[in-house]
């Protein structure tokens, strides 16, 4: 049985303060911590946003002990963009890095996840689990079939992560019917290290937590990595067929409360 902090609440951002607080946390993580930037980043007010935000919803983890007026109450974020939102925006965010044609032509209900982040003080507790629980509830309510996102390694020197990328490509490649591929102009091969030189016991302890979380619930990676110089990251595209989730795994992520 997992014990959850009763001061934490998972829900959709419901007003301007919620959304600005989510963008404040995104600024703290992606700009101040990771060194990212962007055309719509507001350095004066310390808010990270982009052109997709008006078409998306933000799933937020709120600590009710923290100051709402100072936009300090949001300690976890997941931005969610569905197919209808992507149509209004003209594309999914991930379209800039990966060819998503196979997903968009599948006829299935898609949900793109993005800007996932946690406040540093909440990374060792159950906060990520609670975000996943809220996401699971949203998926169930909206009959989402396929989830996808870009997930990141810190830094733009992909050679540092050669073994990690090789492990992902060799053991967790997406099935052909959902396989997305990095855009040709930025395609970076993911398997430079021979399989006999790649050890799960070596790579998994230092695999980014978000990627590990996707793998744990049955996620796969697309073909090719992408170096995102704007966000100072090396990205992979994670794809999850929600209809194929192991029932025991789904039950695990459905155990906490929250209204989404």
* Tens digits of residue pLDDT in 29-65: 999 998 888 888 999 999 999 999 999 999 999 999 9
Cα 118 to chain centroid, rounded: 11
The pLDDT, as a whole number, for residue 1 is 40
In this prediction, residue 250 carries a pLDDT of 58
pLDDT at 20 over 50: yes
Given this model, what pLDDT does residue 246 score? 59
| pLDDT of 256 strictly over 80 | no
Residues near 63 by Cβ (< 8 Å), separated by ≥ 6? 7, 8, 73, 75, 122
Which pLDDT tens digit goes with each residue over 154-171?
A: 999 999 999 999 999 999
More confident residue, 34 or 247: 34
Each residue's pLDDT tens digit, 104-148: 999 999 999 999 999 999 988 788 889 989 999 999 999 999 999
- From CA 167, how far away is CA 211, in angstroms rounded? 12
Q: What is the pTM of this model?
A: 0.90
Give pLDDT, residue 15.
Answer: 96
- Contact of 25 with 75, CB cutoff 8 Å: yes
Whether residue 257 has pLDDT greater than 50? no
Tens of pLDDT, residue by residue over 83-110, are 999 999 999 999 999 999 999 999 999 9
Whether pLDDT at 260 is above 70: no
DSSP state of 8: E
| pLDDT computed for residue 215 by the predictor | 93
Mean pLDDT of 228-251: 81
What's the rounded Cα separation, in Å, for the pair 215 and 225? 16
pLDDT tops 60 at residue 239: yes
pLDDT tens for each residue of 198-226: 999 999 999 998 899 899 889 999 999 99
């Amino acid at each position: 049985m997992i014990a959850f902090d009763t001061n934490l609440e998972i829900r959709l951002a419901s007003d301007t303060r919620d959304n600005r607080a989510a963008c404040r946390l995104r600024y703290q993580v992606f700009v101040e911590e990771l060194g990212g930037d962007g055309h719509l980043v507001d350095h004066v007010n310390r808010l990270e946003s982009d052109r997709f935000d008006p078409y998306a919803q933000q799933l937020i983890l709120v600590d009710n002990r923290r100051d709402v007026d100072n936009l300090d109450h949001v300690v976890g974020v997941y931005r969610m963009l569905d197919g209808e939102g992507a149509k209004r925006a003209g594309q999914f965010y991930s379209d800039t890095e990966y060819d998503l044609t196979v997903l968009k032509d599948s006829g299935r209900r898609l949900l793109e996840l993005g800007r996932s982040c946690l406040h540093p003080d909440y990374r060792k507790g159950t906060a990520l689990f609670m975000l996943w629980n809220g996401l699971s509830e949203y998926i169930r309510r909206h009959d989402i079939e396929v989830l996808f996102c870009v997930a990141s390694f810190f830094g733009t020197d992909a050679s540092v992560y050669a073994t990690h990328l090789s492990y992902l490509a060799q053991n967790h490649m997406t099935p052909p019917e959902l396989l997305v591929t990095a855009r040709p102009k930025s395609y970076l091969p993911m398997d430079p290290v021979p399989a006999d030189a790649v050890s799960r016991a070596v790579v998994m302890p230092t695999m980014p937590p978000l990627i590990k979380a996707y793998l744990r619930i049955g996620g796969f990676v697309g073909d090719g990595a992408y170096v995102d110089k704007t966000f100072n990251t090396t990205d992979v595209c994670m794809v999850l067929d929600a209809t194929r989730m192991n029932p025991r795994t789904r039950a695990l992520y459905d155990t906490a409360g929250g209204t989404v």
